[in-house]
Amino acid sequence: GEKVEQHESTLSVREGDSAVINCTYTDTASSYFPWYKQEAGKGLHFVIDIRSNVDRKQSQRLIVLLDKKAKRFSLHITATQPEDSAIYFCAASTGANTGKLTFGHGTILRVHP
């Protein structure tokens, strides 16, 4: 089955700098790649996604890149703010109507002043 590896377990950046979280996947049939944010003790909050028909998507300070050849995708958070501090999960899906997302293990992002 699909495996998603999230490369950074923790990431510490200074406020205003950029943060980059990298993920790789194994199943070439995966076509949908969402990112979720989890604050301490809370549920997952959807932040941005990308589908396999594009290689870049931006929403305000968030940019997602997809390299299908390398089976790699990444989340770039620009101009980081302290409220960006959280655990970020990447995930992959083949798009079947089962809602099955294969998640990475999460990256703890700390943005310090």
Partner 1 sequence: AQTIHQWPVAEIKAVGSPLSLGCTIKGKSSPNLYWYWQATGGTLQQLFYSITVGQVESVVQLNLSASRPKDDQFILSTEKLLLSHSGFYLCAWSLVGSAETLYFGSGTRLTVL
Q: How far is the CB of 43 from partner 1 (least distance, A)?
A: 4
Q: Which of 2, 27, 49, 65 binds partner 1 (CB under 8 A)?
A: 49
DSSP state of 93: B
59 in contact with partner 1 (CB under 8 A): no
Contacts of 42 (CB under 8 A, 6+ apart): none
41 in contact with partner 1 (CB under 8 A): yes
Q: Which is nearer to partner 1, 80 or 89 (CB)?
A: 89
Number of residues that bind partner 1 (CB under 8 A): 23
Q: Which is nearer to partner 1, 19 or 48 (CB)?
A: 48
CB atoms within 10 A of CB 61: 13
Nearest residue to 76 (alpha-carbon basis) of 97, 62, 58, 89: 62
